[in-house]
Structure 1
Amino acid sequence: MEPVHIIGAGLAGSEAAWQIARAGVPVVLHEMRPTVETFAHKSGDCAEMVCSNSFRSDDDVMNAVGQLHWEMRAAGGLIMAMADKHKLPAGGALAVDREAFSASVTAALKAEPLITIQPGEITELPTTGNWIVATGPLTSDALAGAIRGITGSEALAFFDAIAPIVHADTIDMSIAWEQSRYDKGETLEEQRAYINCPMTKDEYEAFIDALLAADKTEFHEGETAGYFDGCLPIEVMAERGRETLRFGPMKPVGLTNVHKPDEKAYAVVQLRRDNALGTLYNIVGFQTKMKYGAQTQVFRMIPGLQDASFARLGGIHRNSFLNSPTLLDDRMRMKSQPNLRFAGQVTGVEGYVESAAMGLLAGRMAAAQAKGQDLAPPAYTTSMGALVNHITGGAEAKTFQPMNVNFGLFPPVEEGRSGRRGRKDRYPAYTQRAKDDFNAWLAAQ
């Protein structure tokens, strides 16, 4: 049997390779790192997480991304299995030790006899064979040019930002305290999964002034890409209004300062554990385009971080994606060159889980093709089906932008199934229907 070839061993490519091999089809996984480096990646491991260590909510009853977690687990997904193995306390979210996670994904892929990992950069798109392009937001210039060549237009793009990481032993715990918002979590460890740094009104105002005045990365002349709203740099949020951060990542609700329990903070900066040892914490929601020198000065204005040492500072990068509604069919194939499937963020989904889910679907579809079969996507009443429907025809092509999974992509629940129309009834009806329909899709294969 001819192997399926995958370009890119990020989350989507790694998941695709796993699904293909599990279907009994050989696969060659091409990865340019570490031979060709990017500014954001730090290793040559597969499925390296660079922007955050969180897969977001793990609630599969009231949350669409939690339902997506459920579907990937039900489909035997490698990414979710390794995320569960290296889970860190994070309240109701699924956060992982990112280095251990990517190392485990890499080890699992290398141990699978049907998977060959081939290092080196692919600069041209083959016109024959069964290929999946899963190169992610940091696609090399050469391959990006080849993709533009077959799409017949300039690739669309937005900017994505990375949050800084702090050494835990440099956080002043006489000022900061451990607590998840509203004490969310089943165990005491989960209820203390975040470190909180409080601000008074004067401290907040001074922080906003410094943030707005700080030196920032300038883009090249002619650069017109915007930002993904779910990952805005904090300076961009602050420019929209001085109170924006206080009602966003710095909201003070659901928290009680153990050092001053009777005093309510005006704003709170949260840090989430980044590794199993608890030696590293990332600043939640603090993606930034500030220059490195400015970052250390501004972030050390945060009470509790005045002596902070940074394991990694924030950054910003261009994230390219296709106008998938015009270019891809519902099997995720390029309409003009159907030997190519696309998966991951390049298809116009946003988020680690969404990217991996598109890899899972592309992998299963490519494996079916290798066996002379055809696999349709799951119903768009499921999280996976809703995403692939959105990117391959459900979205308006003229205004197409990257999208996280959300219940707005699902068809309405029929009358009578949800009872009342409130979220407490509607969302469980969405997720139960999704589970039923996804199980039916799996059973039919």
Structure 2
Amino acid sequence: MIIGGGLAGSEAAWQAASRGIKVELWEMRPAKTTPAHQTGYLAELVCSNSLRSDELENAAGLLKEEMRQAGSLLMEVAARHRVPAGKALAVDREGFSREVTARIEGHPSIEVIREEVKEIPAGRVVIMATGPLTSPALTEALKDLTGEEYLYFYDAAAPIVTADSLDWSKVFRGSRYGGGEGDYLNCPLSEEEYYTFYQALLRAERHTPHPFEQEIYFEGCMPVEEMARRGPETLRYGPMRPTGLVDPVSGKRPFAVVQLRQDNREGTLYNLVGFQTSLKWGEQERVFRLIPALARAEFVRYGVMHRNTYINAPRLLTPTLQLKGRPEIFLAGQLIGVEGYIESAAMGLVAGINAVRLIKGLEPLDLPLDTAHGALIHYITTADPARFQPMNINFGLLPPLDRRVRSRRQRNLLLSRRAISSWQKILGEFSLN
């Protein structure tokens, strides 16, 4: 039983049915719709029609290539409905979803049931792939199932940058008041640098929310640009306060600092502490690169402020996408804390294959960390549960190469080649039965 006919649910259904398993795919649309959907098609693209870069020096391109090699329905259909978009894979939105729907509904092993699921059944293998707009009834059922008092209903995520892209000559370690043994990286700003940054932040263009995404801000997740509007000193008494910090270069307290916190175990990614934002992505790069240490920063995730529903995956999910304590229940798509069309579909692919393996008495696959699929799953299942936020695929999630490569493009290509080599070694397991 698969609940949800979006990208993840559709890919999961195809993977399972292609391996000889009878599938029920439950989708409440069009009888009951959501504020974001416009049609009753499966795999509807509700925002952009772009599936992002198709090049192997881009992590999204690598993830798509792994999906193609694993027999992805969505990648096959996307190729037939491609529209001009430079180096990106963009599709005719309606044609893409219409063909996915026809292929799913026409498969002899898939029964599409157009009804809302309000309870999670016991005693059968289930894949939940209901996305960020999970219905209220199913949200309550998921709370009961997981034992969590609440799910996350609003993203307030700060940008994440790669460690390699920082100007380390303009960074010093240290925690305010000397606590934490220097767990934070501090990016100091002079008075002139701070006010230049502040003015740019005030003028920056913001993302316009959808009608169903009300701007409900709490003091604990206030967008940095909203804080700035309260006055020129607000940030210096908030996330940019320099209290208790001494810059070892000058021997003095900085006028202001931006703190970076390690975001993964490997120390390849850092997030900007307290910098959740609703600025447009291009504006985030422009404004945040005014921070001297971030002048050449590589942003692998932008800050977001929007409605979302996702579980605390590090606390609840195994690396095989099974619910801890309930191995017959798999979760996939944005519900598990991945961002983006491709990431959601990729998780559906893995959940579909692993559900089949469970049914057939085989061990579900724990994918290699040096593949795009494995790296993304590793992140969402091992991140700090207290600070977990959704993540896109990016090269910072993969283990670094065994040698330093100065060219970012060359480094990314080498990471992709290594990933594809590792991926091809497990494709036999993927195609088993």
TM-score, length-scaled by structure 2? 0.67
Query: What is residue 136 of structure 2 aligned with on the other side?
Result: 141
- 1:426 aligned to which of 402, 408, 411: 411
Q: Please give the secondary structure, in 2, of the residue aligned with 1:236.
A: coil
The answer to whether structure 1 residue 53 and structure 2 residue 49 are counterparts is: yes
Query: What is residue 384 of structure 1 aligned with on the other side?
Result: 373
- 2:27 aligned to which of 16, 27, 31: 31
Residue pair 1:12, 1:355 contacting (<8 A) in 2 also: yes
Residues 401 and 218 (structure 1), Cα distance of their counterparts in 2 relative to 1, 3 Å cut? closer
Shift of 1:214: 12
Query: What is residue 299 of structure 1 aligned with on the other side?
Result: none
The answer to whether structure 1 residue 115 and structure 2 residue 157 are counterparts is: no
The one-letter amino acid paired with 1:94 is L
Residue pair 1:157, 1:225 contacting (<8 A) in 2 also: no
Query: What is residue 411 of structure 1 aligned with on the other side?
Result: 399
How far apart in 2 are the matches of 1:12 and 1:26?
A: 17
How far apart in 1 are the matches of 2:371 and 2:209?
A: 44
Shift of 1:329: 1.0
Shift of 1:147: 0.8
How far apart in 2 are the matches of 1:360 and 1:69?
A: 11
Aligned 1:76-95 pairs, distance under 5 A: 76-95=71-90
How far apart in 2 are the matches of 1:215 and 1:123?
A: 26
How far apart in 2 are the matches of 1:13 and 1:112?
A: 15
Shift of 1:131: 0.3
Residue pair 2:206, 2:278 contacting (<8 A) in 1 also: no
How far apart in 2 are the matches of 1:236 and 1:69?
A: 28
How far apart in 2 are the matches of 1:121 and 1:52?
A: 26
The one-letter amino acid paired with 2:370 is T
The answer to whether structure 1 residue 339 and structure 2 residue 328 are counterparts is: yes
Shift of 1:236: 3.2
Query: What is residue 352 of structure 1 aligned with on the other side?
Result: 341
Unaligned 5+ runs, structure 1: 161-204, 230-234, 249-286, 289-315
Query: What is residue 273 of structure 1 aligned with on the other side?
Result: none
Query: What is residue 313 of structure 2 aligned with on the other side?
Result: 324
Aligned 1:32-431 pairs, distance under 5 A: 32-60=28-56, 62-153=57-148, 154-159=150-155, 218-219=214-215, 236-237=278-279, 244=283, 247=286, 318-393=307-382, 395-415=383-403, 420-431=405-416
How far apart in 2 are the matches of 1:438 and 1:340?
A: 25
Query: What is residue 267 of structure 1 aligned with on the other side?
Result: none
Shift of 1:422: 2.9
Residue pair 2:205, 2:283 contacting (<8 A) in 1 also: no
How far apart in 2 are the matches of 1:213 and 1:11?
A: 24
The one-letter amino acid paired with 2:40 is G
The one-letter amino acid paired with 1:400 is F
Shift of 1:397: 1.5
How far apart in 2 are the matches of 1:58 and 1:409?
A: 19
Residue pair 1:34, 1:43 contacting (<8 A) in 2 also: yes
Q: Please give the secondary structure, in 2, of the residue aligned with 1:408.
A: helix
How far apart in 1 are the matches of 2:413 and 2:50?
A: 23
Identity, in percent, stands at: 43
The one-letter amino acid paired with 1:237 is L
Note the alpha carbon deviations across 1:163-216, whole angstroms, 9 max, x for none: xxxxxxxxxxxxxxxxxxxxxxxxxxxxxxxxxxxxxxxxxx9xx699799999
Query: What is residue 443 of structure 1 aligned with on the other side?
Result: 428
How far apart in 2 are the matches of 1:209 and 1:389?
A: 34
How far apart in 2 are the matches of 1:389 and 1:107?
A: 34
Q: Please give the secondary structure, in 1, of the residue aligned with 2:309.
A: strand
How far apart in 2 are the matches of 1:410 and 1:214?
A: 32
Residue pair 2:5, 2:130 contacting (<8 A) in 1 also: yes
Aligned-residue CA RMSD (Å): 3.2
Q: Which moved more, 1:34-43 or 1:213-222?
A: 213-222
Q: Please give the secondary structure, in 2, of the residue aligned with 1:425.
A: helix
Query: What is residue 8 of structure 1 aligned with on the other side?
Result: 4
How far apart in 2 are the matches of 1:66 and 1:335?
A: 31
Note the alpha carbon deviations across 1:227-273, whole angstroms, 9 max, x for none: 8x9xxxxx9327x9xx937938xxxxxxxxxxxxxxxxxxxxxxxxx
Aligned residues: 317
TM-score, length-scaled by structure 1? 0.65
Shift of 1:63: 1.0
Residue pair 2:70, 2:427 contacting (<8 A) in 1 also: yes
How far apart in 2 are the matches of 1:15 and 1:108?
A: 11
